[in-house]
Amino acid sequence: MPTQPPFTTRPELAGTFGMVASTHWLASAAGMAMLERGGNAFDAAVATGLVLQVVEPHLNGPGGEVPVIGFDAARGEPFVLSGQGPAPAAATLDAFAALGLGLVPGNGLLAACVPAAFGTWMLLLREHGTLPLRAVMEHAIGYAADGYPVLPSICDGIASVALLFREHWPSSAEIYLTGGRGGGVPAPGSRFTNPALAATYQRILDEAEAAGPDRDEQIEAARRAFYEGFVAETMASYLSGAEVMDVTGTPHRALLGPDDLAGWRATTEAPATFGYGGLTVCKTPPWGQGPVFLQQLSLLSGFDLAAMQPGSAEFIHTVVECAKLAFADREAWYGDPGFTEVPLDDLLSPGYAARRRGLVGDRARPDLVPGEPGGRVPRLPAFTAAASGGAGAGSVAAPSLDPGTGEPMSRTAGAHGRAGDTCHLDAADRFGNLVSATPSGGWLQSSPVIPGLGFCLGTRAQMFALTPGLPASIAPGKRPRTTLSPGLVLRDGEPYLAFGTPGGDQQDQWTLPFFLNHVHFGMNLQQAIDAPTFHTRHFPSSFYPREACPLAVDVEARAGQDVIEALRGKGHEVTVTPPWSLGRISAVARSGGFLYAAANPRGMQGYAAGR
């Protein structure tokens, strides 16, 4: 029976022209401006994403990555852009063994992969957009040059690494410790500029327009400026001499070099798909964790979820126990399909799901149990053996460095650690296009700002395993198994829903109750986003120091004391988080001649716009 909460924090938007939803209101407004100029959803996504790099620098940047999934109405099919950069040519198992490391550090230069975000946005604009380069870049340039209001979460992020900036990363201090007369953390609400980043983007645009009047030539010239031109040259000059303190307490040099940048291009791929409830759910292939969403649906398809109450102890227990099984398979089987055979057909097969479903009982399971798809025997990374205690193999945290800066969420700090990581955006237009993207990496906590560019490199290589012979083992040119997981849903072959959230390992947990609330319980997009949510930290984190908390379940207090006690009675170790603390989902939809959008109230910055 449909269950519809009587109150939402904001309305579900409905209209016929276009919709943009993202994790920051300024970015959503920039995207909507593209639609008003006659652009499509893909133009809106690019403008939104570039603004997010400026106004959420603690969550993403030009040196990061951005997986994209969309439906192009003109081509009549869904697509994925592989916006995850690969490991450098020098990133070998032997290289890390020579450094005496058992884990890839969570910050500094050693964990940098090829920065994929800019090239991916350019591919989306060239192949699927319609507007000129200047149109989609001018808002980002304007906010970087003229300023924007600083979010309290940005101030918290800068404060958490201020000592690191002052002692070891002076180029970052020059950009971010600008508050007060003597220099310090900017005050919440103050006007913040990044002139170096504005100049970088302005020069890219100037060089692109100097290449000639042709739109595609300008976009390609912009890409070359980043990966082969002055941006790449500035990166290479800095990296050739930089030896930077990281979370291990020891300075390390980067493995990334100019040939890695020049040799990379974003690519288009087909999505991984699964049929559920008459819908076709599309996710990124297993170089990302996206298929874990599909595996959870496959397991849950054998339970009568519609007979449960949304947010009930029975519902949460069932979803959590299925998540444990799916994420155990992620640890054992996911990796870059260009380097390893990922048995995705077997992992999503009905027979495999039925066998795995038999492991779900009335009590919470304390173990990490990957399956045997097609009779294959699973192997887990070495860090899983020690994931439930200590800082992880081969790692020693220096007193002045915060291990949590390996990921802005500070997952290892517990449920009440610094909240938020990554960004997300969705867009829909009157032409029938839908797109979802999850920009991340290159956040200000990750590594020093590259002098002269105004941004830093990412640290996604921390998601590789240093155990030889595994799907997720590090190798030159290989993509790390990222957590970034935008989603797309088709109905009768037509685009229906685009959605996603920041949150690292929680992305495909927070979006799952949202999706189930919408599909099974009749909630509209805003109701499903507002509903109390939860996740488990049972399996190893994808972020340094790769810790796990077996049996741990975090639940928003709004779930209610009866539900919380019932979960504890089933053996879950429940941490009650503040009432509005988990998830930053946004979504757009297309149905019955209307377009819809909704955004998350948690964090008080996400917003949807449309008409």
Residue whose tokens read 């450094």? 99
Which among 576, 575, 597 has a CA at the least distance from the CA of 586?
Answer: 597
pLDDT for res 6: 81
Query: Is residue 118 in some structural domain?
Result: yes
8 Å CB contact between 508 and 292: yes
State how beta strands 244-245 and 251-252 pair.
antiparallel
Distance in angstroms (rounded) separating the CA atoms of residues 317 and 420:
25
Distance in angstroms (rounded) separating the CA atoms of residues 241 and 588:
46
Query: Is residue 216 in some structural domain?
Result: yes
pLDDT for res 421: 72
Residue pLDDT, tens place only, 230-272: 999 999 999 999 999 999 999 999 999 999 999 999 999 999 9
Strand partners, 588: 498, 597
DSSP single-letter state for residue 107: S
Residue pLDDT, tens place only, 53-75: 999 999 999 999 999 999 999 99
8 Å CB contact between 424 and 23: yes
Q: Is the peptide bond before 476 cis (omega within 30 degrees of 0)?
A: no
* Local structure of 429: helix, strand or coil: strand
In this predicted structure, which of 14-18, 146-150, 383-387, 583-587 has the lowest mean pLDDT? 383-387
Distance in angstroms (rounded) separating the CA atoms of residues 504 and 540:
12
Whether residue 35 has pLDDT greater than 70 = yes
Cβ contacts of 451 within 8 Å, gap of 6 or more? 171, 234, 238
Query: Is residue 203 in some structural domain?
Result: yes
pLDDT for res 208: 98
Mean pLDDT across the chain: 93
8 Å CB contact between 11 and 5: no
Distance in angstroms (rounded) separating the CA atoms of residues 427 and 429:
7
Whether residue 388 has pLDDT greater than 70 = no
Position 3 confidence tier, pLDDT thresholds 50, 70, 90: low
Strand partners, 500: 586
pLDDT for res 524: 98
Whether residue 477 has pLDDT greater than 50 = yes
Mean predicted confidence (pLDDT) in 74-103: 98
pLDDT for res 398: 30
Mean predicted confidence (pLDDT) in 184-198: 97
Distances from the Cα of 402 to the Cα of 78, 242, 268, 384, angstroms: 41, 21, 37, 22
Question: Which residue segment(s) compose the domain that 79 sits in?
Answer: 34-263+401-463
8 Å CB contact between 258 and 453: no
In this predicted structure, which of 76-80, 175-179, 552-556 has the lowest mean pLDDT? 175-179
pLDDT for res 297: 98
In this predicted structure, which of 130-134, 180-184, 335-339, 444-448 has the lowest mean pLDDT? 180-184
Distance in angstroms (rounded) separating the CA atoms of residues 70 and 436:
6
Query: Is residue 102 in some structural domain?
Result: yes
pLDDT for res 416: 33
Q: Which residue has the higher pLDDT, 6 or 205?
A: 205
Which among 102, 107, 87, 64 has a CA at the least distance from the CA of 406?
Answer: 107
Whether residue 341 has pLDDT greater than 90 = yes
Cβ contacts of 507 within 8 Å, gap of 6 or more? 289, 422, 438, 483, 484, 485, 500, 501
pLDDT for res 234: 98
pLDDT for res 5: 75
Position 183 confidence tier, pLDDT thresholds 50, 70, 90: confident
Residue pLDDT, tens place only, 153-180: 999 999 999 999 999 999 999 999 998 7
Residue pLDDT, tens place only, 122-135: 999 999 999 999 99
Q: Which residue has the higher pLDDT, 200 or 419?
A: 200
Query: Is residue 577 in some structural domain?
Result: no
- Amino acid letter at 150? V
> What is the tally of structural domains in the chain?
1
Cβ contacts of 282 within 8 Å, gap of 6 or more? 69, 78, 80, 271, 272, 273, 487, 488, 489, 490
List alpha helices for 65-194, DSSP H: 93-98, 117-128, 133-146, 152-160, 162-167, 170-176
Distance in angstroms (rounded) separating the CA atoms of residues 583 and 586:
10
Strand partners, 18: 429
Strand partners, 79: 70
Q: Across the chain, how many H-helices and E-strands are there?
A: 19, 21
Residue 388 has phi, psi (to 5 degrees) of: -90, 5
8 Å CB contact between 65 and 111: no
Query: Is residue 93 in some structural domain?
Result: yes
Query: Is residue 459 in some structural domain?
Result: yes
8 Å CB contact between 363 and 571: yes
pLDDT for res 387: 58
Whether residue 392 has pLDDT greater than 80 = no
Position 572 confidence tier, pLDDT thresholds 50, 70, 90: very high
* Tokens coding 232: 């790449």
Buried b (16+ CB within 10 A) or exposed e, 157-186: bbebbbebbeebbebbbbbbbbbeeeebbb
pLDDT for res 189: 96
State how beta strands 191-192 and 268-269 pair.
unpaired
Query: Is residue 133 in some structural domain?
Result: yes
